[in-house]
Amino acid sequence: MKLLHLDSSALGANSVSRELSAAIVAQWQARHPGLEVEYRDLDSNPLPHLTGASLAKADPAEAEESARVLEQFLSATIVVIGVPMYNFGIPSTLKAWIDRIAVAGRTFRYTANGPEGLAGGRKVIIASARGGVHSNSPSDFQEPYLRQVFAFLGIDDLQFVRAEGVSLSPQHRTEALAAARAAIPAAVGTVSQAA
Ligand X SMILES: Cc1cc2nc3c(=O)[nH]c(=O)nc-3n(C[C@H](O)[C@H](O)[C@H](O)COP(=O)(O)O)c2cc1C
Of the residues 76, 129, 188, 191, which one makes contact with ligand X according to CB under 6 A: 129
Verify binding: residue 47, ligand X, rule CB under 6 A.
Answer: no
Least CB distance from residue 69 to ligand X, whole Å? 21
Q: Under rule CB under 6 A, how many of the chain's residues touch ligand X? A: 17
CA geometry: angle 131, 155, 65, nearest 5 deg: 80
Residue 84 interacting with ligand X (CB under 6 A) = yes
Closest to 108 measured CA to CA, from 74, 139, 131: 74
Contact by Cβ (8 Å): 36, 3: yes
Under the binding rule (CB under 6 A), the answer on residue 18 touching ligand X is yes
**Choices 37-45, 65-73, 84-92, 150-158; region in contact with ligand X by CB under 6 A:** 84-92
Which of 25, 76, 85, 98 is in the footprint of ligand X by CB under 6 A? 85
Q: How many helices (H) and strands (E) does the chain have?
A: 6, 7
As a dihedral over the C-alpha atoms of residue 175, residue 179, residue 182, residue 185, rounded to 10 degrees, the angle is: -140
End-to-end CA distance of the chain: 8
Of the residues 17, 54, 66, 107, which one makes contact with ligand X according to CB under 6 A:
17
Q: Under the criterion CB under 6 A, does residue 9 sit at the interface with ligand X?
A: yes
